[in-house]
Amino acid sequence: MDPSVRQRVRKLTARYLPSDRDALAIVLLLGLLLFPLSGLMPDPSPDIQTLDRIFETGELPFITLNSPTTYYLYREAPLGFEYQLAKAFADYLGVRLSIIVARTPEEMFAMLKAGHGAVAGASLPIRKRKEHTDIAYSDPYMTATYHPITRRGNVAWKRLDTSEFPATVVIPENAPFDHQLRELMKTRPSLKIAVRKDCTVESLIQKVSSGEIDITIASLNVAHINRRYYPNLMVGDPIGEADFISWAVHPYARMLRFRINSFIRRINENKVFDDIYKHYFSDIHSVDYVDLIKYHQRLNSRFPQYAATVREAAEQAGFDWRLSAAQMYQESHFNPNARSHAGAYGLMQLTRNTARIYGVTNILSPEENIRAGVRHLKKLYDFFNNAKGENRLYIALAAYNVGQGHMLDARNLAREKGLDPNKWESIKITLPLLARPEYYQHAIYGYCRGIEPVNYVKQILIYYDILKHQVITIDQPPPDPLFSLEQTD
């Protein structure tokens, strides 16, 4: 998250929540003061999901929407920025998380008011509270700006800043940026808006890329992520002011709202929010248009002839084949005859020494090269077994690029600096330092161009994300609004 945005959010949460102890005291004091009036206030419906009910059932029912930036399934595993936040909140409360999927924001609010869920979260702007007076909002945890999106070379795009705007802006129903659009139309009366029912922001972005429509609007994170998938897109300047983003609860769930606010403040203090945010939105603003165009083209023209071998080799090693394909493109751009100045050959850029270790007889053989490369990554992955999850994978990828020895130096340097050597975020800091004399002169394996493996992993993850996007499961819930996917540990 941008440091200035993070600071604004933290100031807001600090204003509302000076401390857990002080805030709890305020809540209790207000309860005592208002106790004589309690007879005048209606009792909460037994269907309302309160904090007490969450603890009684041991489950946090969280309502959200399906999208690549909120909640989705990949290889039957739940993922998404809002999902990870909700999972962290459920862990904070010590309960299980149950995901409930709504079709639209309006249905999400309706489900919340009917007691089908306790918390609703899908990048909701606080501004929406004006339309939903019977919904209570948490303190904000981030901000969002909204930007027009069009294709490269669109003539209408050049006249965006003029009062005469010839194109029609197509948006989904109940878009979160309707306030900004209304303000924009005051100064640009010729601006035409078309509302599409049963369309998501992501589907409209795809239509812009294919030329079916000229322009749509999306939040900056959504816009930049989709530029990876559709590199012919351009993102314009923000329309209007930024919105603060928060979760929604039923107005009667006062203690639940208090605990959410405490949670938001805590994850900002302990950097958990930063970790989740970086996982989904790190580097999305950096897009090499020409490189991505070539990648998409070569996925169709070059990769199919190697796909079966990659799938089989990756499955044997326990890797997602899409990761292996992304690494192969970073190594050779799917060129089986690729040769580097450092003496690496083939699709997976094997050195002759590495090829001998894995019994390769023809280093330029696509099948032999792919199998040996995947096995080598698996060997590195097994070696760095103190790291867990994705940290282990990223460290292994970096070691594939720069060598196991330099990776050990980077981990030792991380320890010296009080960083966790098993976290990729730590290694991203220490690897580039090994190019400086004051560090590499004391390293066992000496000088290293440490920024290269950092960029290497970054590019692989971009290519991997593009491949994953082609198969992400965006489930639509059945007519029964109580559709739920439970996630338990």
- For the segment 58-71, what is each residue's pLDDT rounded down to a tens digit? 999 999 988 888 99
With contact defined as beta carbons under 8 Å apart, do 208 and 200 qualify? no
Tokens of 258: 């208090």
- Locate tokens 């070696």: which residue? 383
Tokens of 89: 């909140």
Domains assigned to the chain: 51-141+247-281 (3.40.190.10), 142-244 (3.40.190.10), 292-469 (1.10.530.10)
Secondary structure letter of residue 156 according to DSSP: G
The closest alpha carbon to 448, from 456, 460, 436, 457, belongs to 436
Report how far residue 117's alpha carbon sits from residue 99's, in angstroms, rounded to the nearest whole number: 9
Q: pLDDT tens digit string along 358-403?
A: 999 999 999 999 999 999 999 999 999 999 999 999 999 999 999 9
CB within 8 A of 287, min separation 6: which ones? 224, 227, 228, 231
Q: How confident is the model at residue 418, as a pLDDT?
A: 96
- The 10 Å CB-count burial string (b at 16+, else e) for 403-425 is beebbbbbbebbeeeebebbbbb
Q: pLDDT tens digit string along 412-460?
A: 999 999 999 999 999 999 999 999 999 999 999 999 999 999 999 999 9
The closest alpha carbon to 392, from 403, 378, 406, belongs to 378
With contact defined as beta carbons under 8 Å apart, do 25 and 233 qualify? no
Active site residues: 331
SS3 60: strand
Q: What is the dihedral of CA 133, 138, 139, 143, to 10 degrees?
A: -80
Q: How confident is the model at residue 369, as a pLDDT?
A: 97
SS3 236: coil
Please list the alpha-helical segments (H only) found in 242-365. Answer: 254-269, 272-281, 289-301, 304-317, 321-332, 352-357
Global pTM value: 0.78
Q: How confident is the model at residue 17, as a pLDDT?
A: 44
